[in-house]
Amino acid sequence: MEHAIDVLARTLWGEARNEGTQGMEAVACVVLNRVLVAQKSRGGHYWWGDDVVGVCLKPFQFSCWNANDPNRPKLIAVTDKNIHFATALRIARRAVHGVLADITGGATHYHTKDILPRWAEGEVPVCTIGHHIFYALEG
């Protein structure tokens, strides 16, 4: 469980550290919603991963984990002395323990307002939180 909390916290920090508590909570909801989709799928497996760690570390899903991301060394090295990472750890603990409310309306995808990825073309967002737009898509 501690490993899942650490990986999720690093994902939240890497993806949304400048989005405040609500922004990091929203990214945590996306991870949890992807895990939920996996649990509902036949056999309990889904291409995103089967659990929090698998979803977070799935290649090319969360850019903060990409090997070529310039902030990845910071992501690996950050500690709870960093106020944003300390917040991410608190959120990750709540998420992994199942006490984080879904503020995204079931979102499984998101992107920043600055881009429109191909997968989002024609899709209807479920919410916007900070600089991220969220979508409830199955795959």
CA atoms within 13 A on the CB side of 60: 1
Per-residue pLDDT tens over the stretch 2-23 = 999 999 999 999 999 999 999 9
Question: φ and ψ at 45, to 5 degrees?
Answer: -120, 145
Taking Cα atoms as reference points, which of 14, 32, 17 lies closest to residue 134? 32
With tokens 């995103």, the residue in question is: 48
Give residue-wise pLDDT tens across range 73-126.
999 999 999 999 999 999 999 999 999 999 999 999 999 999 999 989 999 999
Reported pTM: 0.92
- Interval 52-74: pLDDT, tens: 999 999 988 899 999 999 999 99
- Token pair listed for 50: 């089967």
| Contacting residues for 111 by C-beta, under 8 A, at least 6 apart | 117, 120, 132, 133
Instruction: Parse the chain into domains and list their residue ranges.
Output: 2-104
Which of 41-49's residues contact partners 24+ apart within 8 Å by CB, and which partners?
Answer: 47/139
Q: Which of 123, 117, 127 is nearest to 138 (CA)?
A: 123
Name the token pair of 117. 């990825």
Other C-beta atoms lying within 10 Å of the C-beta of residue 59: 8
Q: Determine the longest span between alpha carbons in the chain, in angstroms.
A: 42
